[in-house]
Structure 1
Amino acid sequence: MVSGTLLSWLLDADPALRWQVERDLAQEPPSVWRATRARVATEGFGARLLTLQDPDGQWAGGAYFPAGFDFADVERVGQPWTATTWSLTALREWGLDAAVLRERRTAELLAQNSRWEYDDLPYWGGEVDCCINAWTLANGVWLGVDVNGVADWFVEHRLPDGGWNCQWVEGSTRSSFHSTLNSLKGLLAYDTATGGTDATRAARRSGEEYLLQRQLFRRLSTGEPVAPWVANFAYPFRWLYSALNAAEYLREAALLDGTPPDRRMADAIDLVRAARRPDGTWLQGRRLPGQVWFDVDVADGAASKWLTLFGARVLTWWDS
């Protein structure tokens, strides 16, 4: 699956990426990849992002948006990716040891100082947006915060078709691919860290079934692809759905649950496989616009080490 040349290229990377290559593609022993993972706090992307944390525990002075952001600019410049939720999510996904942020009393500082832009709600209580609550749930359980109430929120706000939609507050009763996947990621993090409850596990399996019934990218009514974005693979994923993003989630869920790949993923896996270039790499797709602290991957159209890790990891799991 992964040639020696490709593996060498992938290993020449930031510790945030390298430790995952060592663990999942190079099959290195835990002593090797854990040592690399520990370097996330002191080198590269992780260390750089840690230096940008505010004294009050936040990043960019805000919960989901930077302090003072002009919301009228969203259409013109895009969503900024620098505020607290995005920064915490990046550090968690890169493998930072949560003890680093516990030593900084980050969770306590955010409880004291950070409020959601929506209704000035307290940070660790979440708000009304499914995706925001998913990141709150995952980041909270990672940092040891009691976020059981946020986990219960997902059980209570699951829609009749099995998934979630951030537009529920506007009256939507049909689930969204984007919202459902992000909600599932939050629940998976919760179940992984705590073992979950009967209710959270049932909610997670219901959301997974929503995606699998649609083969990860098709309309249930017609069988046609739901939109071109299902085949747009771009890192960082942010909130954007794609067949690769969904397949990577289902890989992680199957490993936790001890279940084999679901055959209804086959067409989505074909999309992932078709995007692999002859040299074994995947190209960066169209990324969401918006301000970042610094770039962590290549420009659109270039060979992406992050996407190559995800693509190779998903296909290795599927083909095995």
Structure 2
Amino acid sequence: MRNSDPALRWQVERDLAHAPPEQWMATRARVATEGFGAQLLAHQDADGQWAGGAYFPADFDFQGPEAAEDAGQPWTATTWTLNTLRDWGLDAAALDGTAERLAANSRWEYDNLPYWDGEVDCCINAFTLANGAWLGADVSGIAAWFLEHQLPDGGWNCEWVEGSTRSSFHSTLNTLKGLLYYESATGGSDELRAARHTGEEYLLERRLLYTKSTGELVGPWATHFAYPFRFIHSALHAVDYFRSSNLHDGGAPDPRLADPVEVIRSARRPDGTWLQERRHPGRVWFEVDVPPGEPSKWLTFYGTRVLAWWDQPAQMSA
């Protein structure tokens, strides 16, 4: 992956090549000025947003063809762009003043609520919790919101506002990622840590793949491989989260991850790569990975990193 974009290359250097910190940190610093990261930064609006909106582009027609279920979520607006830049390791200093501009100018499409206050969707609030912790905004209110909205079965569901009382794999994974990032950045609290561990147990009881009631595969998306991950739960997306959680908490990997790890291992091709199986549809600024059917550098990185952690956890760096 020597010719990879800096957004990927620094992670390969750190997590697979185990390069010295001065090497991968120098590569990481290039995310702000080269390649994908610089391209996304160039699309930022003067008011701090991207595409003129918080979760949807300003020109999104909620009644038009783009709003059809098979059209996919647009990925160009502020929240999705911040998620991507954070995942790529962009230094928050490159977005100096963005938190304040969003506080002043950005409102959620739901009820015109202030950006850093969050809204009612678990996934949106989880993204905002992590992005706020990254950019230095006060998102403690969103953190407390998750304690109030954890469901009796231990997870979360974005459809709670419609009356759902059963957790969702997607909503729970996204919430866990937000809580872990917030905890890593701020120290969190005992209550949030306990909520995160309970949410992890919800997924582990189901081995990240199956319904608890019937033991059947929860959905075809659970075994699909696609980058960017977006909000979609998959074996690779979820096990990569549990890798991060395990490195944060310490101890041995949970043995109930064996099934999804085997799904990941069985998808590896003889040459050590993983194929891009699909793209999550929706408007993008530009493509960051290969079309379906081709070997993906991103998926190969994530797959290799997960298996290295699972097979030799003591050798993995945080």
For 2:74, the equivalent position in structure 1 comes to 80
Normalized against structure 1, the TM-score is what?
A: 0.95
Of 13, 17, 28, the residue aligned with 1:26 is 17
For 1:69, the equivalent position in structure 2 comes to 60
Correspondence list, 1:184-199, <5 A: 184-199=176-191
8 A Cα contact 1:63 1:83, kept in partner: yes
The structural deviation recorded for 1:184 is 0.4
Normalized against structure 2, the TM-score is what?
A: 0.96
Residue by residue over 1:236-273, the C-alpha shift from the partner in whole angstroms, topping out at 9 and shown as x without a partner, is 01111101000000000000111211000001100000
For 2:130, the equivalent position in structure 1 comes to 138
Percentage identity across paired residues of the two chains: 70
Correspondence list, 1:151-230, <5 A: 151-230=143-222
Structure 1 CA distance for aligned equivalents of residues 255 and 216 of structure 2: 18
Structure 1 CA distance for aligned equivalents of residues 199 and 72 of structure 2: 28
Letter in 2 for 1:80: P
For 2:98, the equivalent position in structure 1 comes to 106
Q: Which stretches in structure 1 are left out of the alignment for 5+ residues?
A: 1-9
For 2:291, the equivalent position in structure 1 comes to 299
* In the alignment, structure 1 residue 89 sits paired with structure 2 residue 83: yes
The structural deviation recorded for 1:68 is 2.2
Correspondence list, 1:243-258, <5 A: 243-258=235-250
Structure 2 CA distance for aligned equivalents of residues 286 and 170 of structure 1: 30
3-state SS of paired residue (1:92) = helix
8 A Cα contact 1:11 1:21, kept in partner: no
Of 7, 12, 25, the residue aligned with 2:3 is 12
* In the alignment, structure 1 residue 36 sits paired with structure 2 residue 27: yes
The structural deviation recorded for 1:170 is 0.2
Structure 1 runs of 4+ aligned residues shifted over 2 Å read none
Letter in 2 for 1:74: A
* In the alignment, structure 1 residue 277 sits paired with structure 2 residue 297: no
- The aligned length equals 309
Q: Which stretches in structure 2 are left out of the alignment for 5+ residues?
A: 313-318
For 1:3, the equivalent position in structure 2 comes to none
